[in-house]
């Protein structure tokens, strides 16, 4: 890797990333889209606002990433047939979209 392509400074904290995304979803449920602010998320996550802005340029990007994490929870069931498998995925996806944080996003 070329020196210019290497990242300088301290590596990002995975724990801070999780805390920020959790705080974003929590704030989204409690405050809604219009009430959610970068400052509120930073306070809930226990980080500085600059920490958020190093990762995301705006609230929209942060919320997209926070809600996208939920899609990692989707399970691909093996119900014995393609039709049943597809039905299972669709039902899981529908349940995910019913979650308060997904609705608020």
**Phi and psi, residue 12, nearest 5°:** -70, 145
Residue 9 has pLDDT above 50, yes or no: yes
Q: In 3D, which of 42, 37, 34 has the Cα closest to residue 16?
A: 42
The mean pLDDT of the chain is: 85
* Domains defined along the chain, listed by start: 13-104 (1.10.357.10)
The residues near 41 (Cβ < 8 Å, ≥ 6 apart) are: 20, 23, 24, 27, 52, 62
85 three-state secondary structure: helix
On whether the pTM is more than 0.85, the answer is no
Residue 10 has pLDDT above 80, yes or no: no
How many alpha carbons fall within 13 Å on the CB side of residue 67? 21
Give, for 79, the enclosing helix (H) or strand (E): none
């Amino acid at each position: 890797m070329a020196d210019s392509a290497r990242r300088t400074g301290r590596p990002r904290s995975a724990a801070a990333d999780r805390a920020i995304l959790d705080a974003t979803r929590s704030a989204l449920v409690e405050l809604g889209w219009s009430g959610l602010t970068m400052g509120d998320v930073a306070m809930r996550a226990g980080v500085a606002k600059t920490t958020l802005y190093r990762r995301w340029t705006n609230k929209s990007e942060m919320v997209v990433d926070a809600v996208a994490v939920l899609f990692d929870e989707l399970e691909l069931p093996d119900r014995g047939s393609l039709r049943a498998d597809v039905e299972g995925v669709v039902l899981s996806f529908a349940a995910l979209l019913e979650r308060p944080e997904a609705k608020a996003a």
